[in-house]
C-alpha cells in the first residue's frame, strides 16, 4: 500500500487547492505523465490484490480510485462489482445510487443501478431508471436500450419492448442481436 501514497498525496493536494485549480494543474505535461503513471500503477496493484484474493485491500483501493476519479464509470462499476462479489449487495447498490445522484444529467450514470435491479429480477425500478435516462438528451449506451427492452419483455409489456428494440435499431441498424430479439417480441405479440 505504501506504493500509492504519492497518489493519495496528489488527491489531498487537489482537495487543498480546490478542484478547478487542481484540474488546471493536471493539464501540464509533467502532471499528465504522473497521472498516467498513477493510473497505470493503481490498475496493476488492483489486479495483484484481486489475484491474491485480498479483496478488502482491493476494495479499499477501488474506493480511493472512485474518490480520485468520481466520474470514472469503470472504477465505479468495478467497486460495485467487488462489493457484490463479497455478497455485500447493500454496498453494491449504494455505490450505484451515489453515482447516479452525483451525475443526474448523465444518462450512463443510471445504468449500473438499473442493471443491479434487473439482475435481481426487480424489473419495475429498471424501467423507471432507464426510461428516465433515455429522456436526458445525451447519448445513452446501446445497452440501456437492450436492458430496457428485456425488462419490458419480462413484465409482459411486449409493445413497449418492441418499440425499444426499434429505437435501438434506428441508432444501429446492423445490430444483429437486436434484430433477433425484436423478432422474438414480434412473435410473442402475434401469438397474442
Residue 58: CB atoms within 10 Å = 23
Q: Which residue has the cell 489531498?
A: 12
Q: Is the dihedral of CA 97, 103, 105, 106 positive or negative?
A: negative
Judge contact between 103 and 126, C-beta under 8 A: no
Whole-model pTM: value is 0.80
pLDDT digits (tens, 9 = 90+) for 106-140: 999 999 999 999 999 999 999 999 999 999 987 78
SS (H, E, C) 98-145: HHHHHCCCCHHHHHHHHHHHHHCCCHHHHHHHHHHHCCCCCCCCHHHH
Alpha helices in the chain (DSSP H): 5-17, 19-26, 29-51, 55-68, 73-85, 89-102, 111-119, 123-133, 142-154, 158-171, 176-191
pLDDT tens-digit profile of 60-110? 999 999 998 899 999 999 999 999 999 999 999 999 999 999 999 999 999
Q: Which of 82, 77, 68, 79 is nearest to 109 (CA)?
A: 77
Spell out the domains of the chain, with CATH numbers in brackets: 1-102 (1.25.40.10), 110-192 (1.25.40.10)
**Average pLDDT value over all residues in the chain:** 87
Amino acid at each position: 500500500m505504501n506504493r500509492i501514497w504519492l497518489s493519495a498525496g496528489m488527491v489531498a493536494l487537489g482537495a487543498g487547492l480546490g478542484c478547478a485549480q487542481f484540474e488546471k494543474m493536471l493539464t501540464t505535461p509533467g502532471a499528465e505523465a504522473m497521472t498516467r503513471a498513477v493510473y497505470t500503477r493503481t490498475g496493476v496493484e488492483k489486479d495483484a490484490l484481486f489475484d491474491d484474493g485480498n479483496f478488502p485491500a482491493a476494495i479499499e483501493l477501488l474506493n480511493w480510485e472512485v474518490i480520485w476519479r468520481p466520474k470514472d464509470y469503470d472504477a465505479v462499476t468495478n467497486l460495485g462489482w467487488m462489493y457484490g462479489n463479497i455478497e455485500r449487495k447493500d454496498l453494491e447498490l449504494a455505490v450505484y445510487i451515489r453515482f447516479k445522484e452525483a451525475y443526474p444529467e448523465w444518462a450512463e450514470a443510471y445504468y449500473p443501478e438499473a442493471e443491479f435491479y434487473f439482475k435481481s429480477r426487480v424489473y419495475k425500478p429498471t424501467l423507471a431508471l432507464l426510461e428516465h435516462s433515455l429522456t436526458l438528451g445525451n447519448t445513452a449506451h446501446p445497452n440501456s436500450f437492450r436492458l430496457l427492452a428485456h425488462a419490458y419483455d419480462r413484465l409482459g409489456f411486449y409493445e413497449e419492448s418492441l418499440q425499444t428494440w426499434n429505437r435501438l435499431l434506428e441508432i444501429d441498424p446492423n445490430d444483429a442481436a437486436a434484430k433477433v430479439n425484436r423478432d422474438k417480441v414480434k412473435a410473442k405479440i402475434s401469438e397474442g
